[in-house]
Amino acid sequence: MVQQRKTGTDRRADIRRVALELFTAHGYESTSMRQIAERLDITKAALYYHFDSKEAIVRGLFEERLATLDALIEWAEAQPHTPERSAAVAAGWFDLVVEGGLGFARFALANQASLRELMPKGGGGLDRMQRVSALLADPGTPPVELLRIRMGLMTANLAVMGSQGLDLTDEEIIAAAAEAAGLLVPGFTDAITSRAKTA
């Protein structure tokens, strides 16, 4: 069987995936471009063709996720406020969190100090969370209800943080996050668990 040659987009996705695994396991500072290339079984020159530094890989990871979230927000802001739109927005948010079995959340948690300098400038996750929470709220929602929605959005990330040192699978962590989110905001449980099944 002839092996199909990977496109540049596929190769870049592979590099991001492997780098994410290595940064999470060994730390961003301790992982070298050489180690990433060796793990992928490619030359350093091939790796540098796609990314000129570890910083570029991490920025690419953030930019990809933020672009996906921005597209979701842009779509939602053009739709009428309906329960279906709210469900799609909640599901899209959690899709980003649980994608790849919580890998990105673990990476961010393990490399907090290094990531402060690498996060995109001007409107990061907090700004987008505020916009998403507004999309999920009914017009005139009291501030305390908006707080509950924001807390619901953060449950999966907090579950990753809280699960440190516990012998739990990704599925168990996501299920616990779904239960907690559902206590805060009805409907969030379904949003998380439906995405967890496809992650």
Q: Is 109 found in the same domain as 25?
A: no
Burial class (CB in 10 A: 0-12, 13-18, 19+), 1: exposed
Q: What is the pLDDT of residues 15-73, one digit of tens each?
A: 999 999 999 899 999 999 999 999 999 999 999 999 999 999 998 888 888 888 999 99
Q: Which residue has the higher pLDDT, 44 or 126?
A: 44
CA angle, 130 then 161 then 129, to 5°: 5
Q: Is 93 found in the same domain as 28?
A: no
The mean per-residue pLDDT over the stretch 68-86 comes to: 91
Q: Which domain holds residue 164?
A: 60-196
The mean per-residue pLDDT over the stretch 99-121 comes to: 78
Amino acid at 160: V
Domain presence at residue 2 = no
Q: Is 143 found in the same domain as 92?
A: yes
The mean per-residue pLDDT over the stretch 79-101 comes to: 83
Dihedral (CA of 118, 122, 128, 130) sign: positive
- Is pLDDT of 121 > 70? no
Helices 103-110 and 83-98: angle between axes, nearest 10 degrees: 60
Among 120, 75, 69, smallest CA distance to 99 is for 69
The pTM for the full model equals 0.76
The mean per-residue pLDDT over the stretch 86-114 comes to: 81
> Any idea which residue has 């409107």 for tokens?
123
Q: Is 11 found in the same domain as 85?
A: no
According to the model, what pLDDT value does residue 182 have? 87
According to the model, what pLDDT value does residue 2 have? 43
According to the model, what pLDDT value does residue 72 have? 93
The mean per-residue pLDDT over the stretch 110-138 comes to: 80
Q: Is 68 found in the same domain as 44?
A: no
Lowest mean pLDDT among 72-86, 112-126, 131-145, 171-185: 112-126
- Is pLDDT of 100 > 70? no
Domain presence at residue 67 = yes
Q: Is 177 found in the same domain as 148?
A: yes
Question: Domains in the chain: how many in total?
Answer: 2
Which domain CATH number covers 19? 1.10.10.60
Domain presence at residue 22 = yes
Domain presence at residue 1 = no
